[in-house]
Amino acid sequence: MQVSGIAAVVTGGASGLGGATARALAGAGAQVFALDLPGAIEKADAVDGVTYVPADVTNPEQVQAAVDAAGSAAPLRVAVNCAGVGTAGRILSKKGVHDLDLYRKVIEVNLIGTFNVLRLAADAIAKTDADENGQRGVVINTASIAAFDGQIGQAAYSSSKGGVVGLTLPAARDLATSGIRVVTIAPGIIDTPMLAGVSDEFRAALAEGVPFPKRLGLPAEYAKLALSIVDQDYLNGEVIRLDGALRMAPR
């Protein structure tokens, strides 16, 4: 599917994986609407072809407004879900039982937020004209290798990302009749702003655990894979690990 001349929605689009993907799509000729929280947008650099939209992915009205804005600019063909939150906490610890509200929040943002954007973007994409192969667009979701190799303290995060993995195939099957593909990327340890505060020693230790290449992944590599998924029409209903063959240990 061609990127030039289309509209795309990218959540978490002010930085990290979403920021890199928004820049890559804009560089390929798409009109990108990057959704993020207001505080993140304030820190984002201006990028030609990228319009920043303050929106909470769990808020149906805000997401619908962003989708409508994208669809009015050009045919909406692509939605990429990169927004997410992470937390750590054992189910039972010296601090007591895992906080239920914290667990609920992670599920709400990472899983329900992803589904919210998927359903609203798919509704808009389905109303566009199909190409000669009957294709109208693609939704790319972000899981994590924690969905498969969740570590101690990752019960909430792994649950949320496991839900995104489980969503992939039924969503692809649901949307097949509308000519919409659904593919999920499951990144490993990527050098995003979430790691900005860690020491060089800790960063080196993380890199050492990756079989090959022995380094952290780059947001630009996620973005390149996302563009490849857009381009490769036969990729559908699949979860792709982007992790240097890393399999996480229990801790």
The catalytic residues are 157
Cα end-to-end distance, the chain, whole Å: 41
Of 69, 77, 71, 26, which is closest to residue 47 (Cα–Cα)? Answer: 26
The answer to whether 15 and 91 have CB atoms below 8 angstroms apart is no
Angle, alpha carbons 58-22-30 (nearest 5°): 110
Neighbours of 40 (CB within 10 A): 21
Burial label, 18 (beta-carbon count in 10 A; 0-12, 13-18, 19+): buried
Backbone phi, then psi, for 159, in 5-degree steps?
-60, -45
Secondary structure of 52-107 as H, E, C letters: EEECCCCCHHHHHHHHHHHHHHCCEEEEEECCCCCCCECCEECCEECCHHHHHHHH
Q: How far is CA 41 from CA 52, 76, 212, in A?
A: 7, 22, 34
